[in-house]
A and B are shown apart, each in its own frame.
Chain A
Amino acid sequence: MITVDHLTKRYGSFTALDDVSFEARAGRVTGFLGPNGAGKTTAMRVVAGLTPVSAGRTTVLGRPYATLPNPGRHVGLLLDASAQHAGRTGREVLTLGAILTGVDRRRVDHLLDLVGLTEKEAGRRVRNYSLGMRQRLGIAHALLGDPEVLVLDEPANGLDPAGIRWMRGLLRGFAERGGTVLLSSHLLGEIERVADDIIVIGHGRIVASGTTGELLSGSGTVVRSSDDAALAAALTARSVAVTPTATGALLVEAEPAEVGQCALAAGVALLELRSGDERGLEEMFLDLTASSAREEVAA
């Protein structure tokens, strides 16, 4: 369980994170989605206690990260696969982690085997590793202390398709065991295939969040009306699920016809009524990506 509560991080006049709040719950994979430079990594570093905040607070397993006793036994982190000493062997990297967290060193072999690094590869120095191998080593390192929470920043980078599929299975299995998984990606396709919940971040703000079903549902209806509150109340009275979307509309778990009838009965004028389509999230995401790309060109 990870909670991020009204988190703001400023670097001088630049606001990297602007009042960000979200939760990653136990037993679920939470996908943290956003274009490059949106603030995903900064948020994850704050969660891990590496970056001091300007305002707000974060907790992991109900307490600030810095107060976790032997954090490696509770939280597995992979914040940057390249952040390993180039002159150490893969095995040595894991051995150091095992000694520090007090884990039996035999677990190093178990994990090397699990992430698919051979005896020979484990004996090579990290400088000779491909990015994919570094990611595998990083995942092994994150799993070393048998954590309850996993925080992984772009773990799919550099992995081959088989590796990505393997990792998906791993994260799903981890969550089904009751663990919490927070993983970031700038690829919607990657996130939607593994995550139960999705948080979309752009320019340091949360622009959408909800279950993957809600955000990507092909069913349901998107509605905008003259009085969303009254319409929502009317729909809820019919025991129809209603979720407000980040863009100020309502996402309703019902057919457009039923929503229209309900609006008529409630005396609310419809401004927009359409089938919820899974293009919504992708379009929003592309918008975000495009606007940040433009900024980069301008800068």
Chain B
Amino acid sequence: MSTTTVTPAGATRRTGGSAPSAQDDAGLPASLAGPRPRTGIPFGRLVHVELRKMLDTRAGRWLLIGIGVVIAGALTILFVQDGGEHPFGDYLQATTMPMAVLLPVVGILAVTSEWSQRTALVTFTLEARRVRVASAKVVAALLVGASAVATSFVLATATHAAAIAFRGATGDWTMPGTAFLGAGGYVLLGLLQGVGFGMLLRNTPAAVVAYFVLPTAWSVVGSLVSQVRTAAEWLDLNRTMEPLFTGSLSGEEWARLGTSVGLWVLLPLAAGMWWITRAEVK
């Protein structure tokens, strides 16, 4: 431990000539060894911190616990019901659905909490290049999503295998390849969309409500109002993703998927990032 030294002249200057107390001496932190950094913060470190921030609050942790409980419940029902006799796709749906529905909230909170809790003040002063912070949030969200998808695949596989081994289920592993893509995309795109909505609105309730209500409202309008039906076929993410779960996609279906992803995921992200780099942080 290095000891801090305060020159007596300095320490007594403001205390009316009285000797500095031990407390005054203890007032200074130890200096750090080595030269001050001349290079910026590595991007990996930013991602590490953003990941940690997603999980170190009560809100983030309970959200993950909640997702875990829902998945456990769903898997238990499948395992017990009908002697576990369900195709693998059902098991996969039981694990990915809760994640796809609830994980976007993690993405939303990752951004909105910076504003509602005002930690943006700290975040953007420790890394002043805001685009890097925003990008680190996107990457961290993708990492959370990727590990969630991997976990859901493993859990679904394990439970289905257990149903075959212990419950005597016949088992049905058939699934179109694009369904894996669909399940993964469902979770990852949802998370990104959450981050994008968070950046755009920077207010937790507004972002959560907009995230859950807008696409659904759009789906409803698209199915009811004939004038926008064609538009909905291109711009309703719920609808454009459907073919992924059933099997092969035509060129136009891919184009529709791309268009809707652009509208609901990329556009909010880009606009949100643009705003973040220019806004006053209060």
Contacts and interface: CB of A to CB of B under 8 A. Distances in A.
Nearest to A86: B117
A10 interface: no
A69 B36 CA distance: 9
A80 interface: yes
Contact of A73 (B13, B36, B125): B36
A66 B31 contact: no
Contacts, number: 143
Interface residues on A, range: 35 or more
A173 interface: yes
Contacts of A146: 29, 31-32
B41 A102 contact: yes
A173 B128 contact: no
A114 B4 CA distance: 12
A49 B128 contact: yes
Interface in B118-170: 118-122, 124-129
Contacts of B30: 107, 110
B270 interface: no
A225 B282 CA distance: 46
Interface stretch (B53-61, B218-226, B247-255, B259-267): B53-61
A96 interface: yes
A143 B32 CA distance: 11
B192 to A, nearest CB: 23
Nearest to A179: B28
B27 A170 contact: yes
A52 B52 CA distance: 29
Interface stretch (B18-26, B96-104, B205-213): B18-26
Contacts of B4: 173
Contacts of A101: 41, 126
Contact of A114 (B24, B27, B281): B27
A85 interface: yes
B24 A169 contact: yes
A52 B122 CA distance: 16
A193 interface: yes
A87 B39 CA distance: 32
Which 6 interchain pairs have the tightest Cβ spacing? Answer: A83-B118, A87-B57, A170-B27, A169-B24, A146-B32, A176-B10
7 contacts: A50-B282, A68-B128, A84-B122, A107-B29, A107-B32, A111-B29, A174-B28
